[in-house]
């Protein structure tokens, strides 16, 4: 029971860290173009993140049931997985790197389960499906961002720059709401899946059905974390990749929210950080490829590739330390 309570607390801590680590996903473009003040943007993102988290449980059921059979997962394994993911999130936040909370969590689960029971107990078709979604979604983000930006350029080609900025600075409030809602609909559900998996493994649940109290707790933790703000990563996404104007910020947010919410509806966990960053790259490419700081983009992409193995190694080490005789 003590370990189960610890798992719930760690899962909520992961949601909280995820909230302030990924606040930038929802508001970086809005803050950088001054469509909203930082305080208003964070408050709006927190509210819409909670609403998104309450919108469904398809992603939670994927995380809780498709990576590994919940009955084969020990409480110590889940604790190690969560600690590995939290450690990596905090490390990348401190460095201002937009890393993936989804990759960190999945890497933590693979590392902890592989160390405790062997990699053969993993549900490899499910792992492949989840990892495929994590790889394909940034490509879609780039493509949709590019397409949306090119379409907007055609629609506003006869307007003056001042009029365009005025219109899209207002529209950015709407796109930021869509982005925050879609973020909550995907990211908060990952912790719901972990808690539900632990409850099944402990015999408290007989089927992969997320209890209401788990949904409410994870939604609240995500909202509180968002209120804390992740200013280091906001700076990276909002200005260091590409100099955004209101029309660019609107295009990036719209593209990101379309990709993320579509994935949530299909029960696919995706990296909101990857999708947002790749959408910004797509928008920047449509406007002026030379204006994109590809060196910064390369650093971010490198972090994406090392997140799963890095968090997996940390989780494996933590599991070994917890079970050291």
Average pLDDT over residues 301-324: 87
pLDDT in tens, 279-292: 888 998 898 887 77
Which range, 80-84, 270-274, 275-279, has the best average confidence (pLDDT)? 80-84
| Of residues 130, 108, 104, the one with CA closest to residue 266 | 130
What's the pLDDT score for residue 148? 95
- Is the torsion defined by CA of 67, 5, 273, 265 positive or negative? positive
How far is residue 82's CA from residue 61's CA, in Å, rounded to a whole number?
A: 17
Q: Which residue has the higher pLDDT, 112 or 71?
A: 112
Q: Which of 23-27, 104-108, 110-114, 122-126 has the lowest average pLDDT?
A: 23-27
User: What is the total count of domains within the chain?
Assistant: 1
Q: Contact, 308 vs 106, CB < 8 A?
A: yes
How far is residue 199's CA from residue 308's CA, in Å, rounded to a whole number?
A: 25
pLDDT band of residue 44 (cuts 50, 70, 90) is confident
Q: Contact, 223 vs 46, CB < 8 A?
A: yes
What's the pLDDT score for residue 312? 92
What's the pLDDT score for residue 241? 63
The residue segments making up the domain with residue 123 are 2-322
pLDDT in tens, 207-255: 878 888 998 898 888 888 877 765 555 555 545 566 778 898 899 889 9
**3-state class (DSSP) for residue 292:** coil
Q: Please, what is the average pLDDT of the chain? A: 83
SS (H, E, C) 218-287: HHHHHHHHHHHCCHHHHHHHHHHCCCCCHHHHHHHHHHHHHHHHHHHHCCCCCCHHHHHHHHHHHHHHHH
Rounded percentage of the chain residues whose pLDDT exceeds 70: 90
Q: Contact, 99 vs 304, CB < 8 A?
A: yes
Q: Is the pLDDT of residue 48 over 70?
A: yes
| Of residues 113, 81, 305, 312, the one with CA closest to residue 190 | 81
Q: What is the pTM of this model?
A: 0.82
Q: Is the pLDDT of residue 41 over 90?
A: no
Q: Contact, 64 vs 267, CB < 8 A?
A: no
pLDDT band of residue 88 (cuts 50, 70, 90) is confident
Q: Is the pLDDT of residue 296 over 70?
A: no
b/e code 142-161 from CB counts within 10 Å (16+ = b): bebbbebbeebeeeeeeeee
pLDDT band of residue 257 (cuts 50, 70, 90) is very high
How far is residue 55's CA from residue 100's CA, in Å, rounded to a whole number?
A: 22
How far is residue 282's CA from residue 133's CA, in Å, rounded to a whole number?
A: 19
How far is residue 244's CA from residue 237's CA, in Å, rounded to a whole number?
A: 10
Average pLDDT over residues 71-95: 84
């Amino acid at each position: 029971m003590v370990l189960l309570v610890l798992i719930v607390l760690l899962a909520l801590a992961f949601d909280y860290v995820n909230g302030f680590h990924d606040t930038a996903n929802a508001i970086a473009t809005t803050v950088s173009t001054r469509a909203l003040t930082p305080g208003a943007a964070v408050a709006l993102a927190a509210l819409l993140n909670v609403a998104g988290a309450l919108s469904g449980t398809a992603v939670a059921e994927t995380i809780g049931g498709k990576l590994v059979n919940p009955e084969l997962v020990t409480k110590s394994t889940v604790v190690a997985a969560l600690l590995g993911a939290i450690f990596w999130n905090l490390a990348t936040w401190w460095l201002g790197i937009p890393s993936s909370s989804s990759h960190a969590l999945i890497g933590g689960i693979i590392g902890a389960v592989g160390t405790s029971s062997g990699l053969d107990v993993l549900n490899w078709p499910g792992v492949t499906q989840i990892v495929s979604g994590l790889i394909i979604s940034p490509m879609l983000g780039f493509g949709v961002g590019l397409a949306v930006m090119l379409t907007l350029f055609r629609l506003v080609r006869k307007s003056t720059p001042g009029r365009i900025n005025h219109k899209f600075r207002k529209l950015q409030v709407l796109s930021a709401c869509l982005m925050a809602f879609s973020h909550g609909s995907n990211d908060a559900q990952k912790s719901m899946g972990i808690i539900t998996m632990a409850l099944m493994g402990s015999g408290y649940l007989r089927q992969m059905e997320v209890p209401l109290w788990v949904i409410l707790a994870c939604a609240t933790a995500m909202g509180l974390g968002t209120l804390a703000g992740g200013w280091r990563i906001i700076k990276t996404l909002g200005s260091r990749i590409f100099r955004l104007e209101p029309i660019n910020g609107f295009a990036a947010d719209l593209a990101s929210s379309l990709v993320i919410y579509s994935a949530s509806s299909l029960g696919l966990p995706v990296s909101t950080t990857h999708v947002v960053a790749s959408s910004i790259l797509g928008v920047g490419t449509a406007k002026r490829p030379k204006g994109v700081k590809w060196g910064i983009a390369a650093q971010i992409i490198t972090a994406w590739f090392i997140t799963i193995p890095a968090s997996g190694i940390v989780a494996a080490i933590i599991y070994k330390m917890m079970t050291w005789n």
